[in-house]
A and B are shown apart, each in its own frame.
Chain A
Amino acid sequence: MKVHHALRALDGILRREMLRSLRQRARLFSAMVRPLVWLAIFAAGFRSVLGLSITPPYQTYVLYEVYVVPGLAAMMLLFHAMASSLAMVYDREMGSMRLLLTAPLPRWYLLAARLLASVIVGLPLVYLFLFVARFWDVRPPILGYVAVFPALVLSGLMLGAFGLLVSSMSTQMENFAGVMNFVIFPMFFTSTALYPIWRLAEAGPVLATIAAWNPFSSAVELIRFALYLRFDTVSMLVVVACLVAFFLASLAGYDPGRGLWARRGGEG
């Protein structure tokens, strides 16, 4: 594989993702409004009933809005990853995935490029949300916006790889309603995005254990710590390990000898 060829292909995939994203304005709008609704309505309602004691990385008591913003940023990445995964299933049904998979580059590279492009396209909205959240008095240190960048990229890649894995196993778009109900919502609600783990432990030790093992919790905590200029080693290791595992599994799913392509059957 020649480097200039690989870079041009990445550039092409990135441009395509950006163009498609910009042309789907309703999706862009809802991606931005969703976390703001959570912040403006859900968090405002919970502010009075959910007190938060000092929880790392915070060094003082914090308002619920402050706690929930990193979780909502991770939620944006999760929903973006699933939208991207749905787009891959759509591409496969519509045939345009064939074009990508018959490009003269290794398949692992093509899928990795698609994954990276999707994350890059999703990041500006997350940053926009983080800046808008300042109007709700969620004001991390300015350097935190820089420090959170690698955390957002890593988390986005891990969630995107999970989406890639889901897309490699989905035979048709209709299955995605099930994915939303049985994968995305449980992943989000059994994490530390909305409540700290000690709060979940009060509700039930099982729920707290699930949240502790949920890789989405690690993504949330990695983002939360980075935003406040702290580094969470365990969360980073979990996110990287899950990224590698999900990506390798999705490669197997897209393998022409073993994956869904091989099982589908020919048309004529």
Chain B
Amino acid sequence: MNALAIENLSHSFGTRQVLQNVSFTVAEGRMCILLGRNGAGKTTLFSLITGLYHAWTGAVHVFDVAMQSNPSAALAQMGVVFQQPTLDLDLTAGENLRYHAALHGLPTELSKARSREELSRLEVLNRIDDRTRALSGGQRRRVEIARALMHGPRLLLLDEPTTGLDVPGRRALEQHVRDLCRERGIAVLWATHFLEEVAADDDVVVLDRGRICWAGLADHIAHELGVGSIAEAFALLTGSP
């Protein structure tokens, strides 16, 4: 079953068309990398998938639930980490997680237990009672991922989650998400413009100027385009130097 199915999604702001007939799927338990340069339309696509913007044309299905007709059921299956940090800086890490859990209808006791479990897994349990204002960028990102996992989603959406992190921080975060994908069978849609975040067995969707210009297994992209590396393939597809 597809965790996420996007069909002919188009979107514009006024006369500016930002997405054109975007279609792709993310299979259950798979890691899918959405590759695109800045301004390619990745964040707009995330806003459409999460219902922040209304999709006037096309459709979004999450585990066969239509986002347009049943947004609450679709959102209940998703965990989202937006590009822009969304932690409440006046609350502690634990309070941020419990607030999210309440919005998803989790009982208090379960919410407390899960917040400890998720923070522990992401190695930030020692900061549970600290206000998120006091955390480093990498720790905040981990808290955001822990928060996105609180309600046990089957689909995790991450919009450029490593932006602003140093190289070790980026690698550690990527490894955590890959472990989640493998151990819990969570489907992941990871938007990025860092090519080094792509692994050979990932599914890759290349988005350029609002259009999908390639989709398939990462291992195949260079071979299919007749170039030597994924970096060269990306440059060829997007016309970037």
Residues of chain A at the chain B interface (Cβ within 8 Å): 1-2, 4-6, 8-9, 11-13, 15-16, 19-20, 23-24, 94-96, 98-106, 110, 255-258, 261-268
Q: Of residues 143 to 165 in B, which have CB atoms within 8 Å of A's CB atoms?
A: 160
Interface residues on B, range: 35 or more
Q: Determine if B51 and A268 form an interchain contact, defined as CB atoms under 8 angstroms apart.
A: no
Q: What are 17 A-B pairs at a CB distance below 8 A?
A: A6-B105, A8-B107, A9-B102, A15-B98, A19-B90, A19-B95, A20-B90, A95-B84, A96-B88, A98-B84, A99-B99, A102-B52, A104-B75, A256-B54, A257-B54, A266-B43, A268-B160
Report the minimal beta-carbon distance from A16 to chain B, rounded to whole angstroms: 5
Report the minimal beta-carbon distance from A251 to chain B, rounded to whole angstroms: 14
**B86 located at the interface, meaning its Cβ lies under 8 Å from any Cβ of chain A in the complex:** yes
Q: Determine if B102 and A12 form an interchain contact, defined as CB atoms under 8 angstroms apart.
A: yes
* 8 Å CB contact of B50 from A15, A102, A258, A263: A102
Residues of chain B lying within 8 A (CB to CB) of residue A101: 51-52
Stretch at the interface among B34-42, B113-121, B176-184, B225-233: B34-42
**B135 located at the interface, meaning its Cβ lies under 8 Å from any Cβ of chain A in the complex:** no
Q: Determine if B86 and A4 form an interchain contact, defined as CB atoms under 8 angstroms apart.
A: no
Which of A9, A12, A19, A94 neighbours the largest number of chain B CB atoms within 10 Å of its CB? A12
Residues of chain A lying within 8 A (CB to CB) of residue B100: 99
Residues of chain B at the chain A interface (Cβ within 8 Å): 13-14, 16, 18, 36, 38-44, 47, 50-54, 56, 71-76, 78, 80, 82-91, 95, 98-107, 160
Complex Cα–Cα for A15 and B105 (A): 14
- Say whether, besides A105-B72, A257-B56, A262-B54, A98 and B82 are in contact (CB < 8 Å): yes
Report the minimal beta-carbon distance from A182 to chain B, rounded to whole angstroms: 27
Report the minimal beta-carbon distance from A70 to chain B, rounded to whole angstroms: 32
Report the minimal beta-carbon distance from A55 to chain B, rounded to whole angstroms: 44
- Interface class of chain B by DSSP: loop
Q: Which residue of the partner chain B has the closest CB to A5?
A: B105
Q: Determine if A256 and B82 form an interchain contact, defined as CB atoms under 8 angstroms apart.
A: no
Report the minimal beta-carbon distance from A189 to chain B, rounded to whole angstroms: 33
Complex Cα–Cα for A256 and B71 (A): 12
Complex Cα–Cα for A257 and B18 (A): 16
Q: Which residue of the partner chain B has the closest CB to A256?
A: B54
- Say whether, besides A19-B95, A268-B42, A268-B43, A8 and B90 are in contact (CB < 8 Å): no
Q: Determine if B76 and A104 form an interchain contact, defined as CB atoms under 8 angstroms apart.
A: yes
Complex Cα–Cα for A195 and B104 (A): 48
Residues of chain A lying within 8 A (CB to CB) of residue B74: 104
Q: Determine if A268 and B102 form an interchain contact, defined as CB atoms under 8 angstroms apart.
A: no
Q: Determine if A99 and B86 form an interchain contact, defined as CB atoms under 8 angstroms apart.
A: yes
Which of A12, A96, A258, A268 neighbours the largest number of chain B CB atoms within 10 Å of its CB? A268
Q: Which residue of the partner chain A has the closest CB to B37?
A: A268
Q: Determine if B86 and A95 form an interchain contact, defined as CB atoms under 8 angstroms apart.
A: yes
Kindly list the 8 A-B residue pairs having the minimum CB-CB distance in the complex, ordered from nearest: A12-B102, A266-B44, A5-B105, A257-B54, A103-B103, A104-B76, A95-B86, A95-B84
Q: Which residue of the partner chain A has the closest CB to B105?
A: A5
* 8 Å CB contact of B41 from A19, A106, A255, A266: A266
Residues of chain B lying within 8 A (CB to CB) of residue A94: 85-86, 89
Complex Cα–Cα for A266 and B73 (A): 25
Residues of chain A lying within 8 A (CB to CB) of residue B13: 263-266
Residues of chain B lying within 8 A (CB to CB) of residue A257: 53-54, 56
Report the minimal beta-carbon distance from A23 to chain B, rounded to whole angstroms: 5
Complex Cα–Cα for A189 and B164 (A): 48
Residues of chain A lying within 8 A (CB to CB) of residue B160: 268
Residues of chain A lying within 8 A (CB to CB) of residue B56: 257
Q: Determine if A261 and B105 form an interchain contact, defined as CB atoms under 8 angstroms apart.
A: no
Q: Which residue of the partner chain B has the closest CB to A24?
A: B90
Q: Can you name 12 extra interface pairs (CB under 8 A) apart from A5-B105, A258-B54?
A: A1-B72, A9-B103, A12-B103, A13-B103, A23-B90, A98-B80, A98-B82, A101-B52, A257-B54, A257-B56, A265-B18, A268-B44
Residues of chain A lying within 8 A (CB to CB) of residue B47: 261, 266
Q: Which residue of the partner chain A has the closest CB to B11?
A: A266
Complex Cα–Cα for A104 and B88 (A): 19
Residues of chain B lying within 8 A (CB to CB) of residue A19: 90-91, 95
- Say whether, besides A8-B107, A104-B73, A268 and B40 are in contact (CB < 8 Å): yes
Q: Determine if A261 and B102 form an interchain contact, defined as CB atoms under 8 angstroms apart.
A: no
Residues of chain B lying within 8 A (CB to CB) of residue A100: 103
